[in-house]
Structure formats: C-alpha cells, structure tokens
A and B are shown apart, each in its own frame.
Chain A
Amino acid sequence: GESVGLHLPTLSVQEGDNSIINCAYSNSASDYFIWYKQESGKGPQFIIDIRSNMDKRQGQRVTVLLNKTVKHLSLQIAATQPGDSAVYFCAENSGNQFYFGTGTSLTVIP
C-alpha cells in the first residue's frame, strides 16, 4: 500500500524564524496532498493543500512545495510563532481516503 513518511520527527525553531517540515510519499499516482496541524487533544486542522498539477502554493504565512520527481512535499512556515507549536502531518490522497504520515512535532522557542 501507499506510505507517507516524514524525514524528521521533531523540529525546534526560534520564534520569528522560518520553519521547514518535510514529507516523502511513495505513490506517484497521488494527485492531491494536504498539510494538517494537530494540537494536543484536538483533531487534525487543515492548513494548506496542493494538487499534483502545481509545484507551489502559498497561504497566509505558509507555503507548500511539491516535487513530483522525487515524491517530496514540504511545508514552510514564515515567521514562526508560539501558536505554531504542534504536530504537522502531510496526507496523500489516494482513491477516497487519505494516507497520513507519522507527523513532525514542531516546537517554537520564545
């Protein structure tokens, strides 16, 4: 089956710095990807999505980059804030379900 994995399980950044969270996926047929943020005790919260016909998509303080050649996805958070501390998952759409990675825990140091 498909697998979605994250390169780094934990990431610590200084407040105000930019954060980059990476994700590898294995199914080259996947055509839709989402980054989710999960705070402790809460459900996954949609951050940003991207379709496979795009390389880059920007939101408010966040950018997702998709490299289909190497099946790699990244999430960039600009000017990271303490409220950004959470676990971040990438999810890959295949059929009618998403496959989630294990997550990267982002800690923002004030």
Chain B
Amino acid sequence: EPEVTQTPSHQVTQMGQEVILRCVPISNHLYFYWYRQILGQKVEFLVSFYNNEISEKSEIFDDQFSVERPDGSNFTLKIRSTKLEDSAMYFCASSTGHGYGYTFGSGTRLTVV
C-alpha cells in the first residue's frame, strides 16, 4: 500500500537553529500538508500546498516557517530559527483531492533544546 515517508524520524536541534523536515508524498497525490502535534495535544493544521504554492495556512505558520517542493517527489518544511515551543511531532500528509482522504506519514519528532 502506498505510504507517505518522512525523514528523519527524530530530530534534536538547538534553539535558534534552522531545521528542515522532509516528506515524500504518495506519487499520484496533488495536495500536500503539514500538521503538528504537541505532546498530549491535538493534531493542528499548519499549511496546505497545491500546484506549487501555499493554498492555506494557519496562524501557527508564521514567517519562521516555509514549505517547498524542490523536485517531483519531496515536500519540505523549514523552520528558520527554532524555538522551544516548536518541539512537537510534525506530520506530513498528502491527498488526491481537495481535503479528501488524507494519508499521513509517521511523523518527525522535533525536539528543540
């Protein structure tokens, strides 16, 4: 069964450093998303991406965040200058249609120290 792949599974970084979280969505999917989940809290939407541009973003997705699809297979989330409160699980998802039938990756656990 096709799956969304995320790397790394765990990333530890110092506060103020830049991190890039990587995702390989399912190959025939057209919509891409990043969500995050702070420990013990609910999954929160960050951003959606379609046709090589951001289609929607939440209040969490401020100027410190950016997304890119550098080639035909990867989808990345960059946090420019990490803060302690950025520590969370970050999930990538992709879908074939507008909000339809997401498939999530297993997540990257980001720990900012």
Residues of A bordering B, CB below 8 Å? 32, 34, 36, 41-46, 49, 89, 91, 93, 95-103
Contact of B45 among A44, A99, A103 (CB under 8 A): A99
B45 & A43 in contact (Cβ 8 Å cutoff):
no
> Smallest CB–CB gap between B9 and chain A, Å?
9
- Chain A residues with Cβ below 8 Å from B50 are 96
In the complex with contacts A96-B31, A99-B45, A100-B42, A46-B91 CB distance below 8 A: no
18 further contact pairs, Cβ within 8 A, besides A43-B104, A44-B43: A32-B99, A32-B100, A36-B104, A41-B106, A41-B107, A43-B4, A43-B6, A43-B91, A43-B106, A95-B56, A95-B99, A96-B31, A96-B56, A96-B99, A97-B33, A98-B102, A100-B43, A102-B41
- Chain A residues with Cβ below 8 Å from B4 are 43
Interface of chain A: mostly helix, strand, loop or mixed: strand
Closest chain B residue to A51 by CB distance? B100
State the interface size on chain B (CB cutoff 8 A): 25
B104 & A97 in contact (Cβ 8 Å cutoff):
no
Choose among B6, B55, B102 the residue with the greatest number of A CB atoms under 10 Å from its CB. B102
Distance A6 CA – B100 CA, assembled complex (angstroms) = 22
A97 & B45 in contact (Cβ 8 Å cutoff):
yes
Closest chain B residue to A34 by CB distance? B102
The verdict on B101 contacting chain A, using a C-beta distance below 8 Å, is yes
The verdict on B76 contacting chain A, using a C-beta distance below 8 Å, is no
- Chain A residues with Cβ below 8 Å from B56 are 95-97
